[in-house]
Structure 1
Amino acid sequence: MERVIKSGLGWRIGWNPTAPEFKGLVGTDDWAFELTEAELNDFCRLLAQLADTMRQIATELMDQEKIACEAESDLLWMEVEGYPHAYNLRLILKTGRCAEGQWNDSAVPGLLQASEMLKVF
């Protein structure tokens, strides 16, 4: 399997199975940082979980009502904030390098779709 980098407007995600330690990459057009395989697995899993939560909550909210949801693992903390159909995403690494990143609402759908297609978890 070869290195895969997927990108779109305002997002990038990557997977390199042959890298010694940092097999994953997440970022935007302006920044990126590498993730271990476990961190990338958690990122993909928690992003899917948060997106699912936003879809489920959508029916219970009024049209202009914003919401914030968070999820975390031992390795990272993530939060989505905004409307069920348009929300920002924040990521904080909790161990090692201690990095923080954010994607705006227009980037999240593409990032979510690409994370589901990486097939690493």
Structure 2
Amino acid sequence: MERLIKSGAGWRIGWNPHASEFQGLVGTDDWAIELTSTELDDFCRLLAKLADTMKQLTTELMDEEKIACEAESDLLWMEVEGYPHEYTLRFILNSGRCAEGQWAAFAVPGLLQAAATLKVF
């Protein structure tokens, strides 16, 4: 498998299995950070978990109710905030480089779809 970068409006995510230390990449049009394979795996897993949680809450919330949900691993912390059908995403990398980033609500669906198909986890 060769280097793969997927991108859309307000997001990008990448995988390079041949890189020595940082095989993953996440970012927006304005910033990006390289991640280790394990960090990228956690990012994709936690993102899917948060998206599932938001989907499950759709029937339990009133239309105008906003919610925030968090998920965490040893390597990173993530939070979605907004409505079950439209929410922002934030993450903080807890290890090594210590970085944080955020995606606007319009960018999250594309990022979520790309993360799910980036590589086999």
TM-score of the two chains, using structure 1 as the length reference:
0.99
Paired position in structure 1 for 2:30 = 30
* Percentage of identical aligned residues: 79
CA–CA distance in structure 1, aligned partners of residues 85 and 3 of structure 2: 31
Residue 50 of structure 1 is matched in structure 2 by: 50
Query: What is the identity, as a one-letter code, of the residue corresponding to 2:49?
Result: Q
Task: State the secondary structure of the residue aligned to 2:97.
Answer: coil
2:33 counterpart SS class: strand
Shift, 1:89, TM fit: 0.1
**Any stretches of 5+ residues in structure 2 without a counterpart?**
none
Q: What amino acid sits opposite 2:93 in the alignment?
A: L
Partners in 2 of 1:59 and 1:38 — Cα distance?
34
For the residue of structure 2 that corresponds to 1:106, the secondary structure is helix
The match for 1:100 is 100
Q: Residue type of the partner of 1:27? A: G
**Shift of residue 119, structure 1, vs aligned partner:** 1.8
Look up the match of 2:12: 12
Q: Distance in 2 between matches of 1:21 and 1:3?
A: 14
Q: Distance in 2 between matches of 1:64 and 1:107?
A: 21
User: 2:59 and 2:47 mapped to 1: Cα distance?
Assistant: 20
Structure 1 residue 120, shift from structure 2 partner? 3.8
1:39 equivalent in structure 2: 39
Q: Which residue of 2 aligns with 1:63?
A: 63
Give the aligned residue type for 2:113. Q
Deviation track 1:26-79 (CA, whole Å, cap 9, x = no partner) reads 000000000000000000000000000000011000000000000000000000
Q: Which amino acid aligns with 1:47?
A: L
Runs of 4 or more, structure 1, over 4 Å off, are none
After superposition, what is the alpha-carbon deviation per residue over 1:63-121, rounded to whole angstroms, capped at 9, x for unaligned? 00000000000000000000000000001000100000000000000000000011241
- Please show how residues 77-96 of structure 1 align to structure 2 within 5 Å: 77-96=77-96
Q: How many matched pairs?
A: 121
